[in-house]
Chain A
Amino acid sequence: MLNVLRRRSGGDVRAIAKTPWWETHLRFFFIAPSMVLLAVLAVFPAIMSWRMAFSRVTFKLGELAIEPIGFSNFTKAFSDNLIIGSTVRTAVWVLVVVSVEIVVGLFIAFLMSKLHSRARMVFTAALIIPLVLPPVSVGAGWLVMMDVNFGVLNYLLSLVGIEPQLWLADDRTALPSIMLIDIWQSSMFVFILMYAGILSLPQDPYEAAAIDGASPWQIFRDVTIPLLRPTFVVVLLLRTLDAARIADRMLAMTRGGPGSSTETVTLSIYKYAFIHFNFGYASALSVMFQVVLIILATFYIRRILRT
């Protein structure tokens, strides 16, 4: 028990109060609700998920029967053609959308930084509109626009004499079509971060470069890009993790089709869990996916700390 002491002007020291235990530990009472909530909503499901990953899970009235089966669920994944295909597709998806979004976002941010402040405000407000729309609504809207027979996109193409495109109905163009939508929406997220990064850059290196007679391209390449490196790593981290978890757009637009040409890892996990009701296998896939994302995140975070 802690005694509160007060040194009086005369120099004598005496205990003036004995703080009760609950006041000493008051901070724990304040954070307890959050901790309980976190435990219930995050830690417990994570532990259950890991447990189910090594088990066969069946539903019985009033109970969840969990029977341990070792690593079977994990080994099965390596011979599952649907998962192998989904993994490759997800990797391509992440690589393409994140790269293009960074280029587009950086380009817009750079242009905006050169605009007059009032124009900047107007354009920024307009550009973040796609960002505030829910992905499922965006998917539903684009699905209508990309309709082969009634969609506005094919109508616009017909005005300039171009044949109707199959967009989501062709297994060769379905994934690129959804990538286009993702790039349209998520580039604005990259733009916001890059724009904030550019505005916070120190001006001295620019002045020095101008005195040295550097061209605008040289300034961009040799000053702006290196100075923006920490922002790049943060954007890469956030966008990679987000892009890898894509499922809602596909679910709303193609259900993973035609065939399985737009099926991603998380969509496959969803189907195994909620259509096959194979929670053991779905948990094992989730755990493996989780590990891959943690490794990626660790790599990026190390980069951030280094820069």
Chain B
Amino acid sequence: MLPRSVSRRQLLRAGGGVALGAAGVAILAACGETQVVEVERVVEKEVPVEKIIEKEVAVEKVVTKEVERIVTVVIEKPIGKPRVRLRGTGPLGTAETGIFDKLLSETQIELDHVEQPYAATYQSLLINLSQGGSAYDIASMDDPWMPQFTEFLADITPLYQGFGWVWPDPDMIPAIVDLGDWPPGKYGPRAVPNIGNIQSFAYRTDVMEDLGVQPPKTWDDVAEYSAKITGDMAPDLYGYTIRGQPGNPAMTSFLPIMRGFGRDVIDGDLNPQVNTEEGLAALDMVVTLKNLAPPGVENIGHHELGKLIYTGLAAMSGDVWPDQLLKMYTPDLSKVVGKIDVLPEPAQPGADHANMTGVWLFGVPQGSENHEAAAEAIHWLTQAENQKENMYANNWPPVRFSLMDDPGLLADFPFLAGIKNAASVAVPRPRTEHYSIVEEIVGRHVSAVIAEQESVGDAARLADEEVRVALEEKGAYS
């Protein structure tokens, strides 16, 4: 028999019907709430049994079919605390350490970590937070971003109070906690610190001993010692190293020098300060130190700078961060294990030491639909035990007094004492929502000075002019 022909219309109707049916099933399935029910199902198979009864005289064949009853036992257990799924970005923890599994088992909070590079994290957070989006429930943010983000974050105090927790936590370093409150007192605390990153001045103790000098206290000391080291030992060892890539890298190396000369890149009223006596002296110092650095610093970033020190090619830098220190203390990588110490940044006479903070803080976006769960997860992640674990797994310095003095941690991370000292004089980058603009412009001109593309005078003048124009356009002076 030939198959019945199907017209196009019939095919479409049938296809449409199937699609609608499938969509309906999918919608119904999606609408239903998932409930975890333990079901005990006892199924006994239907077994035809053939019984043959033999007798001496007659043979009778009896076939019986036994159908056993199917027993279905449904045991409903109390569900308990429902599981909540959150999404976060920025440094939250490392899945390999099992921290997220532990969070789930202890709090029923499942945390999806959206890992992105630094710049992408910043961009996606700015767009999501400012637009009130619900893409993220937890935002992990670098402290210079806070002035831009605080107004888009939920207030931490009532969230913590809802659980009966105290905020601010008295065990956390107050200067670091204050980074989450900008402008001070206007919105209230909007973020909880998690990583106590502090920039520090690192130097080779063995080289200082060979020179017969005390560790440098001023930038003039640094220049003097660097000249001796480079003069005597280059190309095997150079005195100092600095980051020359434009923008954030060059600016991060330059800021402690500029502050060590007694002035910041912008003042309290956001007036640019590079083209000042102190700014010009700081730029001159950059040129001096660059000329005593290993070749190629004009295009190095964070990782390359660390490598120059742990491979034993550079003796000092004022732009060293905890993750680089860990490498310097790792025997498989480093040629300088046990020969590095850290200090507060040098400062010229009369100026303050100014180590830079690079603290990461957790916040709850206002657009999130899970404020309470996010606060609970943040509280859990920032507990001492988890911060300690992060120190071991990621070299994220803690933000708690109790851990800074922890004998076990100090034994395993000898540089932690130096970081604690650096933290005592640490200051954040200029607190303005326009800092990224200032950093890009000044960092570009500092890079040009390092590459000898611009003179010190031209770079300072152009940097100040461009910063002023850019901030005027942003309405920063009105």
Contacting pair B295 A258 (CB below 8 A)? no
Q: Per-residue CB proximity of A252-267 to B under 8 Å, as 1/0? A: 0111111111000000
Q: Give the residue of B130, B132, B453, B474 whose beta carbon is less than 8 angstroms from that of A258.
A: B453
**Considering the chains assembled together, what is the distance between the CA atoms of A174 and B301 in angstroms?**
15
**Considering the chains assembled together, what is the distance between the CA atoms of A169 and B445 in angstroms?**
15
| Residue of B123, B152, B249, B299 with most chain A CB atoms under a 10 A cut-off | B299
Contacting pair B298 A276 (CB below 8 A)? no
Contacting pair A278 B473 (CB below 8 A)? yes
Chain A nearest CB: distance from B442 CB in Å? 12
Q: Give the residue of B132, B300, B452 whose beta carbon is less than 8 angstroms from that of A61.
A: B132
Q: Give the residue of A59, A170, A276 whose beta carbon is less than 8 angstroms from that of B451.
A: A170
Q: Per-residue CB proximity of B283-295 to A under 8 Å, as 1/0? A: 0000000000011
A64 contacts B by Cβ under 8 Å: yes
Contacting pair A258 B366 (CB below 8 A)? no
Q: Give the residue of A166, A171, A256, A276 whose beta carbon is less than 8 angstroms from that of B437.
A: A276
**Considering the chains assembled together, what is the distance between the CA atoms of A257 and B300 in angstroms?**
10
Contacting pair B152 A260 (CB below 8 A)? no
B297 contacts A by Cβ under 8 Å: yes
Chain A nearest CB: distance from B334 CB in Å? 14
Interface residues on B, range: 35 or more
Contacting pair A259 B440 (CB below 8 A)? no
Contacting pair B245 A166 (CB below 8 A)? no
Complex interface: chain B residues within 8 A of A169 (CB)? 244, 295-300, 451
Contacting pair B295 A148 (CB below 8 A)? yes
Complex interface: chain B residues within 8 A of A274 (CB)? 119, 122-123
Chain B nearest CB: distance from A255 CB in Å? 5
Contacting pair A259 B447 (CB below 8 A)? yes
Chain B nearest CB: distance from A59 CB in Å? 4
**Considering the chains assembled together, what is the distance between the CA atoms of A167 and B451 in angstroms?**
13
In residues 192-224 of chain A, which contact B (Cβ within 8 Å)? Answer: none
In residues 235-278 of chain A, which contact B (Cβ within 8 Å)? Answer: 253-261, 271, 274-278
Complex interface: chain A residues within 8 A of B440 (CB)? 271, 275-276
The number of chain A residues with a CB under 8 A from chain B is 35
Q: Give the residue of A60, A168, A276 whose beta carbon is less than 8 angstroms from that of B299.
A: A168
Contacting pair A149 B447 (CB below 8 A)? no
| Residue of A60, A61, A253 with most chain B CB atoms under a 10 A cut-off | A61
In residues 101-133 of chain A, which contact B (Cβ within 8 Å)? Answer: none
B9 contacts A by Cβ under 8 Å: yes
In residues 162-205 of chain B, which contact A (Cβ within 8 Å)? Answer: none
Contacting pair A257 B366 (CB below 8 A)? no
Given A61-B130, A148-B295, A274-B123, A258 and B247 touching (CB < 8 A)?
no
Known: A62-B367, A257-B250. 20 other contacts (CB 8 A): A59-B130, A64-B131, A148-B296, A149-B296, A149-B308, A164-B295, A167-B296, A169-B296, A169-B297, A169-B298, A169-B299, A170-B451, A171-B453, A253-B299, A254-B299, A256-B444, A257-B447, A258-B298, A260-B448, A277-B126
Closest CB pairs A-B (n = 10): A148-B296, A259-B448, A258-B451, A62-B132, A59-B130, A259-B453, A257-B246, A169-B298, A169-B299, A169-B296
B residues bordering A, Cβ < 8 Å?
A: 9, 12, 119, 122-123, 126, 130-132, 151-152, 244-247, 249-250, 294-301, 304, 307-308, 311, 313, 366-367, 436-437, 439-440, 444-445, 447-448, 450-454, 470, 473-474
A residues bordering B, Cβ < 8 Å?
A: 23, 26, 59-64, 147-150, 164, 166-171, 174, 253-261, 271, 274-278
